[in-house]
Amino acid sequence: MALNSAANDPVIVVRDLQTRFGETIIHQHLDLTVQRGEIVALVGGSGSGKTTLLRAIILLLEPSAGSIQLFGQEIVGISESVAFRLRRRFGMLFQQGALFSSLNVRENVAMPLREHTRLPARRINEIADLKIALAGLPADAGNKLPGELSGGMLKRAALARALALDPALLFLDEPTAGLDPVSAGAFDELVVQLKESLGLTVVMVTHDLDTLWQATDRVAFLGERRVIGYAPMAELTRAEHPLIQAYFEGPRGRAAREQSCKAR
Amino acid sequence: MTGGASWTLPLPPADRATLHYANGVVRCAGDWTLDGLEDFDSRLPSDLPSSSALTVDGAGIQSIDTIGALRLLTLIADLERAGGAVRLINLREEHQALLDLLKERLAAAGTATAPQPPNRLEQLGRRVAFQTAHIIQFLAFVGEAAASFIRLAVHPQRFRWRALFSDIETAGVNALPIVALLAFMMGVVIAYQGGQQLQAYGANIFIVELVALTMLRELAPLITAIIVAGRTGSSYTAQIGTMQVTEEVDALRTIGIRPMDLLVLPKLLALMIALPLLTVFADALSVLGGMVMAQALLEVSFQDFLDRFPQVVTPTSFLLGVGKAPVFAAIIALVGCYQGFQVRGGADSVGRQTTVSVVQSIFLVIAADALFSIVLGGVGLWR
């Protein structure tokens, strides 16, 4: 993973995607492209299929039609061995953290390293401790069980695990949900900092308007089973589509925009 | 693909990270990334150069990630420990920035203090205190269940009848096939083992006593209780435990519903009704198994068997066997529910408490059975 990456180099290309649960169609003719080094957010009303899209991209859900390319590799219908090697290149932060409750934080972070590399155990522990520090946790947190952590620390520990393999691509599902405003702000800053120093590409699902203004390069708005708006935040909020208008023109949307204008 | 950059799929081949040492200069080259570093340690010579002034030259490093940056930092630390001052030069600007970020983050995190394992005496003390607290808590739980029971007797209209009937169905009706099969097989086995001995003395007809008394008094209640402990007690623990994890139990409390009333009492009563009925069913099936074996092996016909049966089996024998079942049921339901409420944390704890629940309830059922034998034998009820 080189740091000085060429722009205009798509990491994710979704074309004409269709997903369905039984008779219910979630996505239809959905297109989305994410460039390398971008932070992209997926937004939309509840039930618009944000998390489902994320799950399809990270190989947890087989789409019923269409194509998804990750790093130029088609992932619809690939073999398990190719999928295994591909999984090494991205990290996922689940909404509830999804840390393994029987393992302490260090063991949780070390797990992908043990599974995917042949590094000696001592190095794996060193790397795990580094990731815990990178995620902004104190070193003592490594010995704790997930049950002993607060919500904010849990998110950070989960981020440390998502970063374990130095992925080129990071997925975040509602990273700031349930965090206090200070922790949420610090988390946004952390993501931007990691993106800049590691050259990460980040795709996140979020409802947090402050995150959308502060941390994203582009925002994809999901509605009517497809992407109905895809632009930087300032531009997207001026879009004329009624769904987008309704989403951003509430009192909270306006407050967040004013806040961000002041900050600039 | 657009642009000049290219991806090799699904993983790009990495140049191995290498070190080259000459004249006081350690030159780093290659990809200092996870892929490039995988076998780095095994390729590293065991003796690091030791010199009072070393220079590490990072110009050859093509790409670096956090794992590579960390390895570079630990390498420099190792060199410093072996010799003296180490100077890092010619690192690319963005690589240096990453190294600085890591140093800053590691310093901010501080060093972990390894938790001291407690000594033997302390461990023993903790265990004793822990187990004592558990026994007291369990007794408190039983007391609370009894208090709820009394409240129910005063206000029977508040009882959750629907929960009771659905619990009777899952714990009782749905268990019929497995209880039937196992009880029948127990009857067959006892008749077969005992029958061979009886045949040697020509005392074939005594198979009726053997099968009827062992089954009705001891084995049928016990085997049914063990099946139910494994089948239903474990599901009680898992259900309440999962509700505990997802905060559903707390939600019930906030709504003003006692978890004891909704989750425990219907289960307790359902099992105390279902288990005696299952035991009667098991009695019948195990005697049938014995009859089949008696006819096949000992030439004791169904007719002979059934003629003798009422002569040897007194109503007391039957009632004592069935009478143990509600006690077993109470043990299984209370232990199962109590262990469910003991779940703390996550999925791991649910599994652990479920195991504890099954082991404890089977242990307590067998211990209670032994107690019954001694007490009832003492007052002469067995004869």
pLDDT tens digits, A134-153: 888 888 888 888 888 888 88
The type of residue at B231 is R
CA distance A210 to chain B (A): 25
Q: What is the pLDDT of residues B185-204, one digit of tens each?
A: 999 999 999 888 888 888 88
Identify the DSSP state of A121.
H
Cα distances (angstroms) measured from residue A114 to each of A105, A120, B201, B287, B316: 14, 9, 67, 57, 64
CA separation for the pair A219, A204 (Å, rounded): 9
Q: Check residue A3 and give its pLDDT.
A: 40
Q: Check residue B8 and give its pLDDT.
A: 46
Confidence band for B382, pLDDT divided at 50, 70 and 90: low
β-bridge mates for residue A65, sequence order: A18
Identify the DSSP state of A146.
G
Q: Which residues of A touch B342 (CB under 8 A)?
A: none
A4 with B94: Cβ contact below 8 A: yes
The backbone torsions φ and ψ at residue B60, rounded to the nearest 5 degrees and listed phi first, read -80, -5
State whether residue B332 sits within 8 Å of chain A by CB: no
- Which of A88, A101, A191 to mutate to test binding with chain B, by most B CBs within 10 Å of its CB? A101
Omega before A10 cis (within 30°)? Answer: no
Identify the DSSP state of B17.
P
Question: Would you say how long chain A is, in residues?
Answer: 264
A73 → closest Cβ in B9, B65, B98: B9
CA separation for the pair B91, B82 (Å, rounded): 22
H helix or E strand, kind and range, residue A203: strand A201-205
Cα distances (angstroms) measured from residue B151 to each of B158, B242, B261: 9, 27, 9
Token pair for B308 = 């003798």
Q: Check residue B182 and give its pLDDT.
A: 95
Q: Are A161 and A153 in contact (CB under 8 A)?
A: no
Nearest to residue B233, comparing CAs of B220, B224, B246? B224
CA separation for the pair A189, A264 (Å, rounded): 15
A9 → closest Cβ in B3, B63, B109: B3
Q: Are A47 and A220 in contact (CB under 8 A)?
A: no
User: For chain B, what percentages of helix, strand and coil (3-state, to nearest 5) are there?
Assistant: 75, 10, 20
State whether residue B13 sits within 8 Å of chain A by CB: no
pTM of the model: 0.69
Nearest to residue A173, comparing CAs of A145, A146, A211? A211
Decide which of B4 and A143 is more confident. A143
Chain A residue nearest residue B109, CA to CA: A138
A134 with B66: Cβ contact below 8 A: yes
CA separation for the pair A5, A21 (Å, rounded): 38
Q: Are B194 and B211 in contact (CB under 8 A)?
A: yes
CA separation for the pair B360, B336 (Å, rounded): 9
CA separation for the pair A17, A26 (Å, rounded): 10
Neighbours of A78 (CB within 10 A): 14
Decide which of B337 and A102 is more confident. B337
CA separation for the pair B256, B279 (Å, rounded): 37
- Which of A71, A150, A159, A195 to mutate to test binding with chain B, by most B CBs within 10 Å of its CB? A71
| CA B174 to chain centroid | 23
B3 with A133: Cβ contact below 8 A: no
Nearest to residue A57, comparing CAs of A47, A67, A65? A67
State whether residue B70 sits within 8 Å of chain A by CB: yes
State whether residue B34 sits within 8 Å of chain A by CB: yes
B38 with A118: Cβ contact below 8 A: yes
| CA A182 to chain centroid | 20
The beta-carbon contacts of B362-370 under 8 Å, at least 24 apart in sequence, are B362/B226, B362/B229, B362/B230, B364/B331, B364/B335, B365/B222, B365/B225, B365/B226, B365/B229, B365/B328, B365/B331, B365/B332, B366/B222, B368/B324, B368/B327, B368/B328, B368/B331, B369/B218, B369/B221, B369/B222, B369/B324, B369/B328
Chain A residue nearest residue B66, CA to CA: A166
Burial B16-33 (b: 16+ CB within 10 A, else e): bbbbeeeeeebbbbbbbb
CA separation for the pair A182, A170 (Å, rounded): 22
Phi-psi region of B118 (alpha: psi -120 to 50; beta: other; left: phi over 0): beta
Q: Check residue B189 and give its pLDDT.
A: 93
What angle do the packed helices B66-82 and A121-134 form, to 10 degrees? 120
The backbone torsions φ and ψ at residue A3, rounded to the nearest 5 degrees and listed phi first, read -80, -45
Q: Are A149 and A157 in contact (CB under 8 A)?
A: yes
CA separation for the pair B237, B338 (Å, rounded): 8
Q: Check residue B282 and give its pLDDT.
A: 95
Q: Check residue A8 and give its pLDDT.
A: 64
Chain A residue nearest residue B67, CA to CA: A127
What is the pLDDT of chain A when averaged over all its residues? 83
Which B residues in the span 338-357 are in contact with A, Cβ-Cβ below 8 Å? 344-349
Token pair for B372 = 């019954």
Q: Are B19 and B50 in contact (CB under 8 A)?
A: no
Token pair for B147 = 């208090």
B7 → closest Cβ in A71, A139, A142: A71
Helix, strand, or coil here: B258? coil
B41 with A126: Cβ contact below 8 A: no
A3 → closest Cβ in B38, B94, B349: B94
Q: What is the pLDDT of residues B82-119, one digit of tens each?
A: 777 788 888 888 788 888 888 888 888 777 777 777 78
CA A127, A132, A134, A139 torsion: positive or negative?
negative
Pairing of strands B53-64, B85-89: parallel
Q: Which residues of B touch A82 (CB under 8 A)?
A: 10
For the segment A60-73, the average pLDDT, to the nearest whole number, is 86
Strand order in the sheet with B18-22: B18-22, B25-32, B53-64, B85-89
Q: Is the pLDDT of residue B356 over 90?
A: yes
B115 → closest Cβ in A8, A117, A143: A143
Q: Is the pLDDT of residue B381 over 80?
A: no
Q: Is the pLDDT of residue B75 over 50?
A: yes
Neighbours of A60 (CB within 10 A): 11
Q: Predicted ipTM?
A: 0.74
Nearest to residue A122, comparing CAs of A108, A106, A135, A137? A106
For the segment B123-138, the average pLDDT, to the nearest whole number, is 92
Question: Of B54-58, B164-168, B284-288, which gets the smallest average pLDDT?
Answer: B54-58
For the segment A155-166, the average pLDDT, to the nearest whole number, is 87
Q: Are A219 and A230 in contact (CB under 8 A)?
A: yes
CA distance B90 to chain A (A): 17
The backbone torsions φ and ψ at residue A118, rounded to the nearest 5 degrees and listed phi first, read -110, 25
State whether residue B1 sits within 8 Å of chain A by CB: yes
Helices (H) and strands (E) in chain A, counts: 10, 10
Q: Check residue B56 and give its pLDDT.
A: 82
A134 → closest Cβ in B34, B105, B348: B105
Size of interface A-B (CB pairs under 8 A): 120
State whether residue B5 sits within 8 Å of chain A by CB: yes
A139 → closest Cβ in B66, B112, B349: B112
Q: Check residue A229 and give its pLDDT.
A: 84
Decide which of A153 and B178 is more confident. B178
Q: Which residues of A touch B110 (CB under 8 A)?
A: 138-140
Nearest to residue B221, comparing CAs of B371, B288, B321, B289? B321
